[in-house]
Copies of this chain bind each other. A is one copy, B any other.
């Protein structure tokens, strides 16, 4: 792909890609004889990461060091991005609440103090993330290290994990063919095991997030196909069970 196509796909300008090339943040993996930039799928992957970090407010130079860090596999980035996005979500919710509070205050004739109104603008530098992350994750580094093993999974580990996953899926399929309702205790128990498996082997997955995944299983054909391949109706079944379990777990 040449610049124009990539730019259109990613929703950025050609100039931006030129810029990223010149500062060494994202250099296309090839050039044509005429000097045209040629972007590979791997380049697109990297661009995607760049844009995510940029959206999160990181300066481009820091994005580069993050992406070029040798110990940072894609999963590390995904987890970090997930955490930062959730932080942002929280911050935005606080701001929404603040604005609603002020609207209501105005209509009731109450006026707020300056301190109150400015406290929304607390700290939210992405730069502070460095220190923050090392404090937060430094404390729970047992957890961090257990998670970082993901990158170091051996072939045996992967075999075991795949087997675990297949086992849960088989039990879902069995429950389905047995005619057990998807919101029954038995189905929800399997769903909970599914969640724990993700927790152990991949990433932190609270019930709420698990419910989101459940919805995705029927909304996205890719995941639907994965389950329908095992048994027809399984995608919907797993989806329902997972969401029911999330509700049961108090999400």
Interface residues of A (CB under 8 A from B): 9-12, 41, 44, 48, 51-52, 55, 74-75, 78-79, 81-82, 85-86, 88-89, 92-93, 95-97, 99-108, 110, 112, 114-115, 117-118, 121-123, 165, 198, 201-203, 209, 212-213, 216, 220, 222-223, 226
The chain B residue sitting closest to A77, CB to CB, is: B99
Looking at the assembled complex, report how far the CB atom of A137 sits from the nearest CB atom of chain B, in whole angstroms.
Answer: 18
Please state the number of chain copies in the assembly. 2
Q: Which residues of B contact A95 (CB under 8 A)?
A: 52, 55, 85
Chain B residues within 8 Å of A114, by CB: 9, 41, 44, 48
Contacts of A108 in B (CB 8 A): 165, 223, 226
Which chain B residue shows the least CB distance to A41? B114
Give chain A's interface secondary structure class.
helix
A222, closest chain B residue (CB): B110
Q: Are A106 and B75 in contact (CB under 8 A)?
A: yes
**Given A52-B99, A88-B92, A101-B220: 6 more A-B contacts, CB < 8 Å:** A11-B118, A74-B106, A78-B102, A79-B103, A85-B99, A107-B202
Q: In the assembled complex, how far is the CB of residue A154 from the closest CB belonging to chain B, in whole angstroms? A: 16
A220 to B202 alpha-carbon distance, docked (Å): 41
Most chain B Cβ neighbours within 10 Å, of A52, A55, A82, A99: A99
Contact (Cβ within 8 A) B222 A100: no
Which residues of chain B come closer than 8 Å to A12, judged between CB atoms?
121
Q: Which 3 A-B pairs have the closest CB atoms?
A: A107-B202, A11-B121, A85-B96
Q: Are B103 and A212 in contact (CB under 8 A)?
A: no
CB closest residue in chain B, given A115 = B9
Residues of B within 8 A of A48 (CB): 114, 117-118
* Contact across chains for A103 and B203 when beta carbons are under 8 A apart: yes
Bound complex: CA A97 to CA B85 (Å): 10
Please determine whether B78 and A99 come into contact, CB atoms closer than 8 angstroms: yes
When C-beta atoms are compared, the residue in chain B nearest to A97 turns out to be B212
